[in-house]
Structures are given as C-alpha cells and as structure tokens.
Homo-oligomer: A and B are copies of this chain.
Amino acid sequence: MKVALDALGGDLAPAEPVKGALLAAEEFGVDVILVGPTAVIEQELAKYPANNRISIVEAPDEIKMAEDEVVKAVRSKPRASINVAMKLVKDGVADAMVSAGNTGAVMASAFFVLGRIPGIERPALSTLIPFNAGRVFLLDAGANADCRPSHLLQFAKMGAAYSREVVGVSNPRVALLNTGEESGKGNETIAEAYELLSQSDLNFIGNIEGQNVHKGLCDVVVSDGFTGNVALKVGEGMADYILQQVRSVIRSSILYAPAAMLLKPALRRALKSLQYEEYGGGNLLGVNGVVVIAHGRSDAIAIKNALRVANASAASDLMVKMREIFAQPSASSSAAGR
C-alpha cells in the first residue's frame, strides 16, 4: 500500500510528518509519498538514513492551519499539499492520504477532489473513544454541525462498515449517543434517528448515555457532528483537568515525590489509551477514497500511527463494502423515511 502524506500539515510540519513517515516505513512497511515542497522535504530527510519506501511528490503551495476562508483556499490553490495528496488518491497513485492540516481544508479538498460515495449524503469524521479493552468509534466527530435523522442512519452504516472491515468486529454493536436509554429520549432529530436505526438491518443496541461510552458497551457510537464534537472535547477537557489536579497536589509537598516517582511509569501506562498519538487519526468516511485526518498537534508518533490507520483502511475491503452498502436501494435516504 502507498499512502500520500501531507508534509506541510500540522503545527509541527514538516519535521514531525517526515520523521513519522520514516517510522511508519520502518515499523509497518508502509510506502509513504511525502507531498510538499521537494527542497524542504529533502532537507528534513537528509537528517536520517535513506529509506527506499519514501518518495516525494512536489506541491509548492500550503493551506495554513489558521486559514480563514478554508473552502476558498482549497479551491484557489490546486497545488497546495492537501490537494495534491488528495489527487494522488483520486488518480490511483496512492491508496490513501493522511493530513494533520486544517481539518476543514482536508474535508473540503476530499469533497472536491474525491467526491462522495454514491448514496452517501454527508461524509462523517470518525474518531476513537479511549477504552482499554477494545476499539470504540464515534461518528460524526465534527464534519456536520446540522444533521437530519437520515444522516445519522448513514453515519451508523458507515461506522459499522468501518468497525467490521478495518477493526475486525464481526457484528458491530451500534448505539445512539443520547440523554437517556429509553426510546423517545433526546431532541427531535435523535428521537427520529432512533426509529430509523431500529428499523435498519444494523445491530442497533439502542441509546447510550455519555457516562457509558468509555465502557466498551458498543462498537460504534452515532452522534450529530455538533454534539459529538462538543462532547469529545468536554471529555478531553475533563481528562486534562484531572491530570492537572493530580499533578498540582503531588507537587504540593516533597513528601509525595518518591511515591509519585515510583507510580509514574504505571500511571503513564494506565493513561496511554488517552493519548491521541497512539491512535493517530480519524477516517473521513463517505468520500471516494481513504482519507485520515490527524490531530493538528501531531508529533512523529501520531503521524506514524495515522499512516498505520490509513494503510490498514486501504488494505481492507472498506471502500468496496461501503460502495456496495450504499448502492443498495434500501440504503438510500429516500427509502429511509426522510
């Protein structure tokens, strides 16, 4: 598998993406096409021993992380690294692309260059929910702020396909993120989505409340992009808050230092599942190609893992199955009721 990597994407580009590409090539045998200004990439590559799994495709332009008018930037810069990497996927030169760049820009580029899979109304961003004994994915993590019930049904189908084909869960349990467990709970959109999911052929296990998403009770959590994004970030904020509280108490007395030192590696291990570096990135599901969006703060480890995710997605039957699922008339939104 060949994965195109946006060498200019993320706060730590180009140094960390280039390093991450080399790590992925070494550890996972991924062939990586670094996309960006050749001279800049070569300068970074010169710091490491040569690796014949790494190649370069020139892209002189950049879409900045803080770019204001993202869609306009994507349209007006065809030679920006994100667009060039996306084009490599479209042309079959690469099997997948990874970027830690501006999320809105990656999504816009994916829509323009790759387009949607026929039958899918809204591509959605999936993300891993930390859970020690498995892999639970939530979607939509933020691609669509306003959703209709039929969109949520499509997210559920895409999430289940991902869980089955890439994660390897044979009959993924799908749950709807809601304020209560009973049917009829939640806002109007969610209550209607519940009905659609109940009538679908998915393994729909009902509503799940926020306090239960980290318990591994389901494999796919479905949410609109607004609620999903806010909830994930509040969870992140809570984790940061707890760690900061613990740190400040431990630092409040030197008496705690030896005990803290002893426990540190264990605690670090315990909290490994919380680090986004470990899972790398989330798939943008529903576009015509494998696109993995990594965290803007991605370091080399995060990029390496995002490349692993992209490689595994490209090597799986995900795209074929997604096209099959949404080609069936029963999966179309009109048949789904709304």
A residues lining the B interface (CB < 8 Å):
130-132, 142, 145-146, 177-179, 185-188, 190, 209-215, 223-227, 229-243, 245-246, 248-250, 252-253, 255-256, 258-260, 262-263, 266-267, 269-271, 273-274
Contact = CB atoms under 8 A, between A and B. Distances in A.
B226 A210 contact: no
- How many chain copies? 2
A211 B234 contact: yes
Contacts of A145: 179, 185-188, 190
Given A179-B142, A187-B145, A262-B259, A214 B240 contact: yes
B179 A226 contact: yes
18 contacts: A131-B241, A145-B188, A146-B188, A179-B225, A179-B226, A209-B233, A212-B237, A213-B234, A214-B240, A230-B230, A234-B235, A238-B238, A238-B239, A239-B242, A242-B242, A245-B270, A245-B271, A253-B266
A236 B259 contact: no
Contacts of A249: 266-267, 269-270
Given A179-B142, A186-B145, A237 B215 contact: yes
Given A226-B227, A267-B249, A270-B246, A234 B234 contact: yes
A146 B242 contact: no
B267 A246 contact: yes
